Amino acid sequence: MPDCGLQVNYEMRRFTGSRLLSAKPAPISHESLIKTGQSRLPIMGAGHNVPQVSKAQTPHDQKGWNMRAEDLIMLLLIFAIMYFLLIRPQQKKLKEHAAMLAGLRRGDQIITQGGVVGKIVKVKEDDSNEVEVEIAKDVKVRVVKSTIATVMNKTEPAKT
């Protein structure tokens, strides 16, 4: 069969790693298409497993930070869970401890954070924030209010 001069050039692309490589095969003549039984030119693209990768699709070339709405909702949900499970209970506990320290009176039995058990003898109302605690008969120590862990026996206020 004579060569009719029809040659087809197409570029076949394949994706390897982060680079786009191009390979140009030998030109296909009209005779070779007729011998193989193909009457039309092969179509490259979807369905032929040849991915076409643009520059924007490669992950290392993206610039900026894209956040979808789902990501934002998930981030807010995690923050809300952390707030209600960790932060809020801790704040509540601190408020209760401050109220307990404000309500200390003479005669209350306390336990300090160091494990010392004693009875409050004197509450100083000045800026020192200290109480005088009797830990044994005639043994008195000064304790900073913030180191008091719990009040064991609360005394009733004196009636006047």
Residue 159 included in any domain? no
To the question of pTM greater than 0.75 for the whole model, the response is no
**pLDDT confidence band for 53 (50 / 70 / 90):** low
CA dihedral 58, 60, 64, 68 (to 10 degrees): 60
Query: Which residues span the domain enclosing 38?
Result: 7-61
Total domain count, the chain:
3
Residue 2 included in any domain? no
Q: Are residues 110 and 148 in the same domain?
A: yes
pLDDT at 79 over 80: yes
Q: Is the dihedral of CA 52, 56, 61, 66 positive or negative?
A: negative
Cβ pair 122, 104 in contact under 8 A? no
* Per-residue confidence (pLDDT) for residue 12, from 0 to 100: 47
Q: Are residues 23 and 57 in the same domain?
A: yes
Structure confidence by residue, pLDDT tens digits, 87-98: 999 999 999 999
Q: Look at 15 and 116; give whichever has higher pLDDT.
A: 116
* Per-residue confidence (pLDDT) for residue 10, from 0 to 100: 46
Q: What is the mean pLDDT of the chain?
A: 76
Residue 160 included in any domain? no
Q: Are residues 34 and 71 in the same domain?
A: no
